[in-house]
Amino acid sequence: MIELLAHLGKSTRASFSKLGRATFFLLQCLAGIGSVLPRPRLLLNQLYSVGVLSFLIISISGLFVGMVLGLQGFYILSDFGAEETLGVMVAASLVRELGPVVSALLFAGRAGSALTAEIGLMKATEQLSGMEMMAVDPIKRIISPRFLAGFLSMPLLTALFSVIGIIGGQIVGSGLLGVDEGGYWSQMQAKLDFHDDIINGVIKSVVFGFITSWIALFEGYDAVPTSEGISRATTRTVVNSAFSILGLDFILTALMFGDD
Amino acid sequence: MINRDPHPNTLISVSNLSFSRGNKKIFDDISLAFERGKITAIMGPSGTGKTTLLKIIGGQLFPEQGSVLVDGQNVHQLRRADLYTLRKRMGMLFQSGALLTDMNVFDNVAFPLREHTKLTESMIRTLVLMKLEAVGLRGAYNLMANELSGGMARRVALARAIVLDPMMIMYDEPFTGQDPISMGVLVHLIKALNKTLGLTSIVVSHDVHETAAIADYIYVISEGKVVGQGSPEEIRRSDSEWVQQFMTGAADGPVHFHYPAKDYVDDLLSSGKRY
């Protein structure tokens, strides 16, 4: 019993101290952003590896998610003779929920894990330490550009995901199942609200980009510098990002759509 | 005998330093002095915290007690910006080289220049090629860090460490894991650079012969204490049993072959319960 309590106390203390380190890390990272801006090259390189290289997985996944939505939506809506509203259904589910959530999950798996492994290995091979000894702050030089890149890429990738998904829904809906194409687009145009749907989706993706980049970079920076430590850190990045994304999605949805 | 008090000729002085990791005391009230323009070696068995000492001098780790003065400045009381200014004048050669793996040799050596100076690319090119020539790797400027052998990586790291023309350079186990030729090259380089660039060098090593060949002064450290010091000749003639064991590499002596353990027979006959 006592042992259990002691263990509980120990792990609670460990998680609070980790939370503290993570917060401190975030503050340093945000403070470092100021010195990234005069050197756009650092940012561009990271935008490429974090953002551009995630294009393919995001586009293909978006296409399939949209196509599945088109199929499922069609079978339900056709029962009510409301196939015309397929466009609304596909677009609303993508823009409000699936776009931000699924692309953030994919992003955590594709880019987040890569960032953690990269930073963890840089730590293990003393590259971060070496930079410090060369009077170069690794937070400013390595962490902040990656953070900014992740934060900027996420909304763009989400937008791409949603757009391709909507096209996928249209391909299945009007291409295969015969929904009127004009109806698909015009209903969507009429029913989707710029503020309620699109902006809220963008807010979500911004929040997810922030949290995923933070988790990925912190886990790498805080990793135990051994091969086992890095593998654990990478796993933690994916798991913690997934939890945070899904949990935050619920909270954000409740805040945004709760009162109407 | 070197004057251990702060002295105009002492570039780095470590006084009454204590440091522990967990419950293990790594340094117990040690004092060391490093003279300008000389090569001073810190020797001792693996695990005596020689690398830790370099990290403390570089301000990456904080001591529990004692102070480190580098060129008159107390490293651990400096503000961050001042510490970074000081570090630009301190080179450090990591055991692994610590080259940036996403860059080639040229960019690695150019890295400190690009970060800290506003020199033009052509100026940077000249400087980098000069430093690479000094370590004999000008022809390898185009290789990526992972295409280098261990010895080459260390030489590139050495070129990078001297590219800002520091006043001192710290070598962390420069000879470990090198073949005899690379070892010879490194020994020659450390000596030659120290002389031609007027550096102050600290060499942390357990390679007795190579280190004794180039060092002007040697400290032998064990279990957090300085157990012997002096010129290589004095160290060789030392009457300390410990120093003798270390210099000759005897398997048993004051440092026991066995890691501390409970009685052997008791251990074999005990129930085997995990503890």
Q: Is residue B240 part of a domain?
A: yes
- b/e code A98-110 from CB counts within 10 Å (16+ = b): bbbbbbbbbbbbb
Of residues A127, A132, A136, nearest to B60 (C-beta): A132
Between chains, do B84 and A125 touch, taking CB under 8 Å as contact?
A: no
Indicate whether B91 belongs to any domain: yes
A37 CA: distance to closest CA in chain B (Å): 14
Question: Closest approach of chain A CAs to the CA of B78, in angstroms?
Answer: 14
Q: Taken in order B236, B238, B244, B247, is the CA torsion positive or negative?
A: negative
d(CA B131, CA A196): 61
The per-residue DSSP string of A151-193 comes to HHHHHHHHHHHHHHHHHHHHIIIIIIS---HHHHHHHHHHH--
Asked if A171 and A70 count as a contact pair (C-beta separation under 8 A), the reply is yes
pLDDT (0 to 100) of residue B274? 59
Which of the two residues, B251 and B162, has the higher pLDDT score?
B162
Decide which of B249 and A47 is more confident: A47
| Buried-state track B130-141, b at ≥16 Cβ within 10 A, e below 16 | ebbebbebbebb
List all residues 6 or more positions away from A75 whose beta carbon is below 8 Å from its beta carbon: none
pLDDT for the residue numbered B98: 86
pLDDT above 70 for B275:
no
- Please tell me the predicted confidence (pLDDT) of residue A196: 83
Name residues 182-241 of chain B within 8 A of A (Cβ).
none
Q: Is the predicted ipTM greater than 0.85, yes or no? A: no
CB B111 to CB A125 under 8 A? no
Structurally, chain B folds into a number of domains equal to: 1
Question: Could you tell me the pLDDT band of residue A259, with boundaries at 50, 70 and 90?
Answer: low
Q: Which of B98, B90, B19 is nearest to B56 (CA)?
A: B19
Distance CA B228, CA A73 (A): 82
3-state secondary structure B193-229: HHHHCCCEEEEEECCHHHHHHHCCEEEEEECCEEEEE
Confidence of residue A166 (pLDDT cuts 50, 70, 90): very high
Is B191 contained in some domain? yes
pLDDT value at position B238? Answer: 79
Mean pLDDT of chain A, nearest integer: 91
Question: Residue A152: what pLDDT?
Answer: 93
For residue B177 the two structure tokens come to 């894991």
* Residue B216 domain flag: yes
CATH code for position B32: 3.40.50.300
**Could you tell me the pLDDT band of residue A56, with boundaries at 50, 70 and 90?**
very high
Q: What is the mean pLDDT of residues A126-135?
A: 89
In a domain, B257, yes or no: yes
A125, A135, A141 member nearest B88 (Cβ): A135
A227 in a domain, yes or no?
yes
Residue B109 lies in a domain: no
Q: What are phi and psi of B58, to 5 degrees?
A: -80, 0
Name the residue facing A133 among B87, B96, B111 (closest C-beta): B87
Residue A101 lies in a domain: yes
Taking the CA of residue B170 and the nearest CA in chain A, the distance in Å comes to 10
Interface of B with A in 78-117 (CB under 8 A): 84-85, 87-88, 90, 92, 94-96, 98-101, 111-112, 115-116
Q: Which of B60, B88, B115 sits opposite A129 (nearest CB)?
A: B60
Strands (DSSP E) along B223-260, which ranges?
225-230
Amino acid at A240: N
- Which residue type does B29 have? D
Give tens-digit pLDDT for B173-222.
Answer: 888 878 888 888 888 888 888 888 888 999 998 888 888 888 899 888 88
CB contact under 8 A, B160 and A134: yes
Burial call B245-259: b when 16+ CB within 10 Å, e when fewer: bbbeeeeeeeeeeee
Q: What is the residue range of A50's domain?
A: 41-253
pLDDT tens by residue, B92-139: 888 888 888 888 999 999 999 998 888 899 999 999 999 898 888 888
What per-residue confidence (pLDDT) applies to B1? 41
Q: Which of B63-67, B69-73, B263-267 has the lowest mean pLDDT?
A: B263-267
- Of the candidates A166, A236, A253, the residue with the CA atom closest to the CA atom of residue A201: A253
In a domain, B209, yes or no: yes
Mean pLDDT for A224-241 is 94
The model's confidence at residue B151, banded by pLDDT at 50, 70 and 90, is confident
Chain A CB contacts of B156 below 8 Å: none
Pick the closest to residue A140 from A67, A37, A7 (CA basis). Answer: A37
Which of B92, B93, B146, B163 has the most A C-beta neighbours within 10 Å, making it the best mutation to test the interface with A? Answer: B92
Domain extent at residue B74: 10-101+166-269
How sure is the predictor about A178, in pLDDT bands with cuts at 50, 70 and 90? Answer: confident
Q: What is the 3-state secondary structure (H, E, C) of A101-152?
A: HHHHHHHHHHHHHHHHHHHHHHHHCCHHHHHHHCCCCHHHHHHHHHHHHHHH
Query: Quick check: is A31 in a domain?
Result: no
Residue B205: its pLDDT value, please? Answer: 87
User: Is a pLDDT exceeding 80 seen at residue B169?
Assistant: yes
pTM of the model: 0.84
**What is the biggest distance separating any 2 CA atoms in chain B, rounded to whole angstroms?**
73
Buried-exposed string B185-198: b where 16+ CB fall within 10 A, e elsewhere: bbbebbeebbeebe
pLDDT at residue B20, rounded to an integer: 86
pLDDT of residue A148: 93
Residue A226 domain flag: yes
Judged by CB atoms closer than 8 Å, whether chains meet at A134 and B99 is answered as: no
Asked whether residue A13 is domain-assigned, the answer is no
Any CB–CB contact under 8 A between B62 and chain A? no
CB contact under 8 A, B84 and A135: yes
Contacts of B160 in chain A (CB under 8 A): 134
Q: Contact B111/A134, CB-based, under 8 Å?
A: yes
Cα–Cα dist A34/A137, whole Å: 13
Q: Chain B interface, mutation test: which of A49, A133, A137, A140, most B Cβ atoms within 10 Å?
A: A133
Mean pLDDT over residues A6-26, rounded?
A: 91
Contact criterion met (CB < 8 Å) for A127 and B90:
no
